[in-house]
Amino acid sequence: MSYCKQEGKDRIIFATKEDHEAPSDAELIEDDPNDPYEDPGLILPNGDINWNCPCLGGMASGPCGQQFKDAFSCFHYSKEEVKGSNCVENFRSMQECMQKYPELYPNENDNDSAPSGGADNAPTESTSADSLPTFSPDSTPAATENPAAS
């Protein structure tokens, strides 16, 4: 049985599990997916890659940032049957650059293969996930997920 008490200006409610299982009738405002103020996640409304997405960590801003951007733009817009197969050169130069900075880009073997999956898949997939957190320093949520949207 949920109950509540009042301590001065503060109200305290103790809610049971059953009480909270009932659907909420609180109303939330519907989000506009094209809201220009919102952080857009990895893909911008116009289809471009959001290089400033926190999900990319520091990949687009580091010393190999330009190569990274070239490689993944190429992949993103690739219309080949095997997506990204026309981008081998870009990925190779990216890999070359990354080998020059082993401290920043460890496990360079994982960066070999082009990320599989669709364009929406953030390039931080499970194989390279280990390498990324070591140089993605933000310990903070600057949203990749739009509130209540995704």
Q: Where are the beta strands (DSSP E) in the chain?
A: 3-7, 10-14
14 is an interface residue for other proteins by CB under 8 A: yes
Q: Which helix (H) or strand (E) holds 17?
A: helix 17-21
Nearest to 42 by CA among 72, 63, 64: 72
- Contacting residue, 1, 8, 46, 118, with other proteins by CB under 8 A: 8
**Least distance to other proteins, CB of residue 24, Å:** 4
126 is an interface residue for other proteins by CB under 8 A: yes
Residue 115 structure tokens: 């990320």
Q: Which 130-149 residues touch other proteins, going by CB under 8 A? A: 132-148
81 is an interface residue for other proteins by CB under 8 A: no
118 is an interface residue for other proteins by CB under 8 A: no
Residue 124 structure tokens: 């931080």
C-alpha–C-alpha distance, residues 98 and 112, integer Å? 11
**Least distance to other proteins, CB of residue 123, Å:** 9
Choice between 86 and 104, CB closer to other proteins: 104
C-alpha–C-alpha distance, residues 84 and 88, integer Å? 7
Q: Which 83-112 residues touch other proteins, going by CB under 8 A? A: 101, 103-104
Nearest to 85 by CA among 77, 97, 93: 77
Q: Which 18-77 residues touch other proteins, going by CB under 8 A? A: 19-20, 22-29, 31, 36-39, 41-42, 51-52, 54-58, 60-63, 65-66, 69
